[in-house]
């Protein structure tokens, strides 16, 4: 099959495998391997933070900030409400993803990733012959800075896809600022302490995830365990089907979906900026034997040309600097990812 610009596609969607037979083939099976998969571990009691109550200096705001600090220090994530987006808007965002993956393969293939690119519609990249693959198809798009958008990969079907994604990106840029300010305040730092490391124009990548049903959730993962290379990730989950799990104190927990809330997790870059106080959590996605699941993840990072590092105010004799100053962490992240290593280990002092 040839893509928009004529190059050979890397296309072999899991969705197509799942049509004939929801039983995974060898390349997807974790048997006897690295991960023991418990599909229904205990549910994590994760803090729900009302952002609208934080933006004052009242005692209730202080309490909410304290809740934020403890949850990021213990499990690296929280659910955010009071973010200013309506339930119907979030439904639309979810729906453009769901409707896109429901299109015939031939239609979706118009926006396929090519051999030269990481963006577009595709599935798990095969980096080596022996790699276990994720039971997941995705649509991966750089959404900010605007001049870096590659519209040849932005679907025009469903017809409101681009408008909704544009609007969502604008809203997430604002939300990202509010969250970064709250994170700084919760550590008694100046409000702009983390935000200043970002530069003028944050880097945003949106990944629509599609997980077809899979008859062997005990042997297959939607996404293998990983930590995010972002500073902050915003995840719009699927109101109908859960699947995300997070590692806390060496135990896996399922992350519940709360309607109208976004799941926020810190990525490696906030772990670095906070000098390790906030933890970038390991997480993974399990599959479901009966139902498909669609999610929308937005990864926010500082401008890659800027140096980031632990906030100076957090460094003292009692808490020495743990991470080097680095730039383009996302680049470092993917280099290490290909070698099966955690990038954060490579930037420790």
Residues that bind Ni ion (CB under 5 A): 228
Query: Pick from 13, 229, 243, 281: which binds ligand OGA (CB under 6 A)?
Result: 243
**DSSP code at position 146:** G
CA end-to-end distance (rounded Å), the chain = 48
Quote the least distance from Cβ 56 to ligand OGA, whole Å. Answer: 32
Pattern of binders to ligand OGA over 177-216, x per CB under 6 A?
------------------------------x-x-------
Cβ 209 to ligand OGA shortest distance, Å: 4
Q: Which residue from 75, 285, 330, 332 is in contact with ligand OGA, where contact means CB under 6 A? A: 285
Question: Whole-number minimum distance, CB 123 to ligand OGA, in Å?
Answer: 13
Identify which of residues 186 and 209 has a Cβ nearer to ligand OGA in the complex: 209
Interaction between residue 94 and ligand OGA (CB under 6 A): no
Q: How buried is residue 273: exposed, middle or buried, by Cβ count under 10 Å (0-12/13-18/19+)? A: buried
Q: How far is the CB of 240 from ligand OGA (least distance, A)?
A: 13
Binder among 75, 223, 261, 298 for ligand OGA (CB under 6 A): 223
In angstroms, give the least distance from the CB of 196 to ligand OGA: 26
| Residue nearer to ligand OGA on the CB measure, 290 or 325 | 290
| d(C-alpha 349, C-alpha 87), whole Å | 44
**Residue 235 interface partner, choices Ni ion, ligand OGA, none, CB cut-off 5-8 Å depending on type:** ligand OGA
Least gap, CB of 76 to Ni ion (angstroms) = 11
Query: CB nearest ligand OGA: which residue?
Result: 295
Closest CB to ligand OGA among residues 111, 333: 333
CA angle 123, 208, 226 (to 5 degrees): 70
Pairing of strands 283-286, 221-226: antiparallel
Q: Binders of ligand OGA among 265-284, rule CB under 6 A?
A: 283
User: 57 exposed, middle or buried (CB, 10 Å; 0-12, 13-18, 19+)?
Assistant: exposed
From residue 53, how far is each of 80, 180, 182 by CA, in Å? Answer: 11, 15, 11
Task: Give me the least distance between CB of 147 and ligand OGA, in Å please.
Answer: 25
Q: Helix, strand, or coil here: 66? A: helix
133 sits near ligand OGA (criterion: CB under 6 A)? no
Q: Look up residue 57 and give its two tokens.
A: 């200096």
Burial class of 211 by CB neighbour count within 10 A (0 to 12, 13 to 18, 19+): buried
Work out what residue 137 binds among ligand OGA, Ni ion, none; the CB cut-off runs from 5 to 8 Å by kind: none
Does the footprint of ligand OGA cover residue 98 (CB under 6 A)? no
User: Angle at Cα 92 formed by Cα 175 and Cα 166, nearest 5°?
Assistant: 55
Cβ atoms within 10 Å, residue 342: 15
Tally of CB atoms within 10 A around 72: 27
Q: Which residues bind ligand OGA (CB under 6 A)?
A: 207, 209, 223, 228, 235, 243-244, 283, 285, 295, 297
């Amino acid at each position: 099959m040839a893509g928009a610009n004529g190059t050979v596609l890397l296309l072999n969607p899991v969705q197509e495998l799942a049509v004939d037979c929801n039983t995974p083939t060898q390349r997807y099976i974790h048997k006897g391997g690295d991960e023991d998969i418990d599909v229904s571990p205990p549910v994590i009691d994760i803090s729900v933070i009302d952002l609208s109550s934080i933006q004052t200096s009242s005692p209730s705001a202080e309490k909410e900030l304290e809740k934020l600090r403890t949850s990021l220090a213990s499990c690296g994530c929280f659910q955010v409400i009071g973010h200013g987006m309506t339930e119907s808007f979030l439904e639309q965002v979810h729906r453009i993803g769901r409707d896109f993956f429901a299109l015939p393969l031939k239609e979706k293939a118009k926006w396929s990733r090519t051999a030269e690119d990481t963006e577009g519609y595709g599935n798990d990249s095969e980096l080596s012959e022996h790699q276990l693959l994720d039971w997941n198809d995705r649509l991966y798009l750089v959404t900010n800075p605007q001049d870096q958008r590659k519209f040849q990969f932005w679907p025009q079907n469903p017809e409101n896809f681009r408008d909704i994604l544009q609007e969502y990106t604008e809203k997430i840029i604002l939300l990202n600022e509010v969250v970064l300010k709250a994170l700084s305040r919760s550590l008694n730092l100046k409000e702009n302490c983390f935000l200043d490391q970002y530069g003028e124009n944050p880097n945003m990548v949106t990944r629509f995830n599609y997980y077809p049903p899979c008859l062997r959730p005990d042997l297959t993962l939607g996404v293998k365990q990983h930590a995010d290379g972002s500073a902050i990730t915003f995840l719009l989950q699927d109101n109908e089907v859960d699947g995300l799990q997070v590692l806390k104190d060496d135990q896996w927990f399922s992350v519940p979906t709360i309607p109208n809330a976004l799941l926020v997790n810190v990525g490696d870059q906030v772990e670095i900026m906070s000098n390790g106080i906030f933890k970038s959590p390991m997480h993974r996605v399990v599959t479901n034997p009966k139902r498909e699941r669609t999610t929308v993840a937005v990864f926010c990072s500082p401008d890659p040309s800027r140096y980031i590092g632990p906030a100076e105010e957090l460094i003292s004799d009692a808490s020495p600097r743990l991470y080097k100053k680095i730039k383009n962490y996302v680049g470092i992240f993917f280099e290490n990812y290909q070698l099966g290593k955690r990038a954060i280990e490579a930037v420790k002092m």
